Chain A
Amino acid sequence: MSTYQLNKAVYTLTRTQDRASFNAQSTEYFADFDLNDDERQALTRPDFCRLGELGLLSNLLYRYFAFCGYRHDDFHAMFRREGAAALKGAGHDG
């Protein structure tokens, strides 16, 4: 269990697999990596905000998002919604 393994899972997946075959066996795919339950769950849901919190590099986060079939605009919008709350809590006004 390490941030490295989480990043390696996504890095390897997005370079070597196509989405159709991955969707059919996503649980089996991630079994090859030393992940904890939190990481595995965030990957299989997928929960992109949680993946970011767990240390998935932002470039790989976006790549996984696209791999899962989401549109670019959705990515932007999703993090903006999450970010608005976070920034408010942190005292930012941007």
Chain B
Amino acid sequence: MARVALGIGTSHLAMFLRDIPDADPAQVASLRSGFETLAAALAAEAIDVLVVISGEHVNKFFLDNLPAFAVGTAASYWGPVDNVPLEKRNIPGHARLAAHLLQYGMSNGIDWARVDEWPLDHGMVVPLHFLDPSARIPVVPIFVNCAAPPGPSLARCQDVGEKLAEALRQWDEDANIACIACGGLSHSPGDPRMGWIDEAFDREFLAMLEGGQSASIAAISEERIWEAGSSTSEIRAWAMLSGIFKNQRMDVITYEPIEAFGTGCAQVVVSSKGSH
């Protein structure tokens, strides 16, 4: 049977790859170092498949047909589709695992949208660029709506994460799986609060992850998420991770409220063996 060996939460910001002159070099270096730590954790666990959870940025999903959750079932992907300073590359998919997740979800309370063709945007490709630069490990991309309100509640995201973990454990292949949640934390691109970071919210949220306080995460209200920023909604991916590793303590690798990026940037890791 498969094992959910590792969980990672990480910011996915494209600005990390741009030359932003005002960005504090020490903070940027801290994030780069964080990616190295996460990549080393992946290598140490001999991961066979990456389940990558993220919102996306109105590149694949638009208001004409917008699911709450979707699973990519393709044999391969490519990206980034958006304007990010990265070379476009092919990324192998894992269609067998995706088919299993689709089937399991439909019988167990996750009404996935099925996506057989999916050009990936920076939400997934930036973390993959740092964590698996040679695109060696096949991925199953999972979408959660963070870009167009209303998104699923954090409680629902956590519930889906918990069911997803059960689905992964019931997959009848001998495989080590890592789940990577990508996004946030607090930020407000394209609204008047842009540049403002709700550091108190970010630190409180990370403390909940660190303490394994899944119930506290599920109880965060939509009003509080919005108050922390118009795109802080991306913590829905992190809430799914908190469901996959329910009540388990996570290690906070990095938190940098980078003013020039206008984003609270964070990285966490959790192992099925306990604190990493």
- A interface residue numbers (CB < 8 A to B): 4, 7-8, 11, 48-49, 52, 57-63, 66, 72-73, 75-76, 79-80, 82-83, 86-87, 92, 94
Residue B63, interface by CB 8 Å = yes
A-B pair count, CB < 8 Å, reads 75
Judged by DSSP, the binding face of A is helix
Q: Chain B nearest CB: distance from A91 CB in Å? A: 12
Give the interface residue-count category, chain B.
Answer: 20 to 34
Q: Chain A nearest CB: distance from B242 CB in Å? A: 25
Measured in the bound complex, the distance between the Cα atoms of B192 and A80 in whole Å is 7
Please give me the residue from chain A that is nearest to B121 by CB atom: A59
Please give me the residue from chain B that is nearest to A83 by CB atom: B192
What per-residue 1/0 map shows which CB atoms of B186-219 lie under 8 Å from chain A?
Answer: 0011111111111100000000000000000000
Known: A58-B230, A59-B58. Is A83-B190 also a contact (CB below 8 A)? no
Please give me the residue from chain B that is nearest to A48 by CB atom: B190
Most A CB within 10 A of own CB, among B83, B148, B190, B195: B190
- Chain B residue numbers with a CB within 8 Å of A8 are 62-64
Measured in the bound complex, the distance between the Cα atoms of B150 and A31 in whole Å is 29
Contact, CB under 8 Å: B58 / A79: no
Q: Chain A nearest CB: distance from B95 CB in Å? A: 27
Given A52-B190, A83-B193, 12 extra CB contacts under 8 A: A8-B62, A8-B63, A57-B148, A58-B191, A59-B190, A72-B18, A79-B192, A80-B262, A92-B193, A92-B196, A94-B196, A94-B198
- Chain A residue numbers with a CB within 8 Å of B10 are none
Measured in the bound complex, the distance between the Cα atoms of B167 and A61 in whole Å is 37
Please give me the residue from chain B that is nearest to A73 by CB atom: B20
Please give me the residue from chain A that is nearest to B190 by CB atom: A58
Measured in the bound complex, the distance between the Cα atoms of B197 and A58 in whole Å is 16
- Chain B residue numbers with a CB within 8 Å of A73 are 20
Within 8 A of A (CB), among B13-69: 15, 18, 20, 57-58, 62-64
Contact, CB under 8 Å: A86 / B148: no
Choose among B57, B188, B192 the residue that contacts A59 (Cβ–Cβ < 8 A): B57
Choose among B57, B62, B196, B199 the residue that contacts A87 (Cβ–Cβ < 8 A): B196
Most B CB within 10 A of own CB, among A4, A83, A92: A83
